[in-house]
Amino acid sequence: MRELEQQITKLSGATAETLRSRETRDMFLKFRDELTRGKIRAASKENGAWRTHEWVKRGILLGFRMGELQAFDDGSVLSFVDKDTFPPRRLKVSDAIRVVPGGSSIREGAYVAPGVICMPPMYINVGAYVDEGTLVDSNALVGSCAQVGKRVHLSAAAQIGGVLEPVNASPVIIEDDVLIGGNCGVYEGTLVGSRAVLGAGTILTRSTPLYDLVNEKVIRASTDAPLVIPENAVVVPGSRAIGKGKAAEWGLSLYTPVIVKYRDEKTDTSIELEHLLR
């Protein structure tokens, strides 16, 4: 992979003529194939800490630069126009990925592990990594470079945001055994620790403070670190009153996510039935 990294880094400022060459196209297709196979990824956990691989993001952006518009169709029913460098992925039974009929799409350059279930319609974008046993429910999005762990449940209409630029920015990371409730949104490089539970409608961004009622503290992102949801945290939508100005006079409040408890046997019992779907 070191050779691929060097080639992509060298081509970051390449001319359009260079990007059109057969040699560059072949190199990119090799890079995309390794992404699809999960051999390279936009971020990985090393020595207990997540590390962003900037060169992988550069490679994806390179693909958009060198791509040409192409029509993709399935007979006379469906028709799409997109960059030829990132076509829809064609799955085989041997991939062991369940894609239920109804309009789902996975882009080439996204890794989807055996045992993943895709309910229609859902979308997995380039650079995403979705690990074994995860369920991606209807109308859910796994955005560019998002990293989703094992046995995660992305409920209906959950949005896992993509982060391609800037290239040094952390992607959204969902660790193992997390439950993301319906209509949740996780954006801007937020890291959700293993076994956390996000109640329906919870929105997490880099600028959103998280109020931990159990430990009586406020969790925030910093200049060089994303918002981190602790392992086993149970997070629900909440609000905080505005204490001054006209907003206070009118009794207005702002949305904020709140940790109301940490996962226990009761929590596990309430979500354990989902394994029957697998």
What confidence score (pLDDT) does residue 203 get? 98
What confidence score (pLDDT) does residue 13 get? 82
Cis peptide leading into 121, omega within 30 of 0? yes
Helix (H) or strand (E) holding 191: strand 191-192
What confidence score (pLDDT) does residue 271 get? 64
Q: How far is CA 243 from CA 59, 117, 217, 237, 251, in A?
A: 47, 46, 19, 20, 9
**108 CB burial (10 A radius; 0-12, 13-18, 19+):** middle
pLDDT reading at 130 higher than 90: yes
For residue range 181-218, list pLDDT tens digits in order. 999 999 999 999 999 999 999 999 999 999 999 999 99
Residues 49 and 54: their CA atoms lie apart, in Å, by 16
Helix pair angle (2-11, 22-36), 10° resolution: 130
Residues 122 and 104: their CA atoms lie apart, in Å, by 5
DSSP 8-state class, residue 9: H
Banded pLDDT at 272 (limits 50, 70, 90): low
CA nearest to 229, candidates 267, 276, 195, 192: 192
The secondary structure of the chain in percent helix, strand, coil, rounded to multiples of 5, reads 25, 30, 45
For residue range 60-86, list pLDDT tens digits in order. 999 999 999 999 887 767 788 999 999
pLDDT reading at 270 higher than 70: no
Partners of residue 46 on adjacent β-strands: 49
Average pLDDT rounded to a whole number, residues 231-242: 96
Residue by residue, DSSP assigns 231-258 as: TTEEEEEEEEE--SHHHHHHT-EEEEEE
Residues 28 and 2: their CA atoms lie apart, in Å, by 14
Residues 67 and 115: their CA atoms lie apart, in Å, by 31
Whether the CB-CB separation of 257 and 184 falls below 8 Å is answered with no
pLDDT reading at 131 higher than 60: yes
Residues 164 and 203: their CA atoms lie apart, in Å, by 20
pLDDT reading at 1 higher than 90: no
**277 CB burial (10 A radius; 0-12, 13-18, 19+):** exposed
For residue range 246-264, list pLDDT tens digits in order. 999 999 999 999 999 999 8
**203 CB burial (10 A radius; 0-12, 13-18, 19+):** middle
What confidence score (pLDDT) does residue 180 get? 98
- Phi/psi for 84 (5° steps) reads -70, -10
Give this prediction's pTM.
Answer: 0.93
Residue where the block lists tokens 């907003």 = 247
